[in-house]
């Protein structure tokens, strides 16, 4: 397994190549944003970090030899759920030349909301900090309640729905992890690069 800084450098090269040869001229590109890697580090034996590009920002994770990870049996686009201090996050399987199979969690796509490279980098660093911060479950629930209240729901109705389900709002269970489904429609590599994560057949 390559060191985090070497993986970051390789991804920088890979995404600059994609930018020049596969994404050039597409209207979704933000011309104020360049390809850059942020926060690459070891986490429980896996290398993780964020890739910023003119079309997306994604958290990328690579397999761990120590953990016995074998992701080669997955199809591109297969979904997995991984736990971090702040909670569970959904990832999609992908593969990049020179660095191999990895899993990607989309943070932003497209990148039209960013007005500078510094803005994008600050957002990436903020995400990494949030990712590694343990969140009190009561605080998490309060955030979801506030979001629903702002969207027009009455607080009494929110509490009743919680009591009926007896489950935390909008949580992701590790039980949602799915084994590779060979019959499921594949997600095209180009769609993954553009941040389109809904399943569709390649054309």
Tens-of-pLDDT digits for all 203 residues of the chain? 689 999 999 999 999 999 999 998 999 999 999 999 999 999 999 999 999 999 999 999 999 988 889 999 999 999 999 999 999 999 999 999 888 999 999 999 999 999 999 999 999 999 999 999 987 666 555 666 666 666 777 777 757 776 776 544 443 433 344 444 444 455 565 565 655 444 333 32
C-alpha distances (whole Å) from 112 to each of 56, 121, 183 are: 9, 14, 35
Q: Cα-atom radius of gyration of the chain, to the nearest Å?
A: 18
pTM, two decimals, is 0.71
Q: In what order do the strands lie in the sheet with 87-96?
A: 36-43, 46-52, 57-62, 100-108, 87-96, 79-84
Q: Are 79 and 179 in contact (CB under 8 A)?
A: no
Q: For domain 4-134+172-194, which CATH number applies: 3.30.1460.40, 3.40.1190.20, 3.30.420.40, 3.40.980.10?
A: 3.30.1460.40
Domain-wise residue ranges, the chain = 4-134+172-194, 136-170
């Amino acid at each position: 397994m390559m060191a985090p800084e070497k993986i970051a450098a390789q991804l920088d090269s890979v995404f600059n190549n994609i930018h020049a040869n596969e994404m050039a001229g597409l209207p979704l590109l933000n011309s104020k944003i360049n390809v850059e890697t942020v926060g690459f580090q070891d986490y429980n034996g896996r290398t993780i970090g964020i890739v910023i590009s003119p079309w997306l920002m994604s958290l990328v994770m690579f397999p761990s030899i120590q953990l016995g990870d074998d992701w080669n049996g997955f199809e591109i686009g297969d979904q997995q759920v991984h736990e971090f201090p702040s909670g569970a996050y959904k990832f999609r399987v992908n593969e990049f030349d020179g660095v191999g199979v990895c899993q990607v969690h989309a943070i932003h796509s497209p990148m039209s909301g960013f007005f500078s490279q510094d803005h994008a980098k600050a957002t990436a660093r903020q995400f990494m900090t949030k990712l590694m911060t343990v969140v009190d479950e009561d605080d998490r629930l309060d955030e979801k309640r506030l979001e629903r209240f702002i969207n027009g729901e009455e607080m009494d109705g929110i509490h009743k729905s919680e009591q009926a389900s007896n489950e935390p709002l909008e949580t992701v269970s590790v039980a949602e992890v799915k084994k590779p489904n060979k019959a499921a429609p594949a997600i095209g590599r180009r769609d993954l690069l553009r941040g389109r994560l809904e399943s569709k057949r390649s054309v």
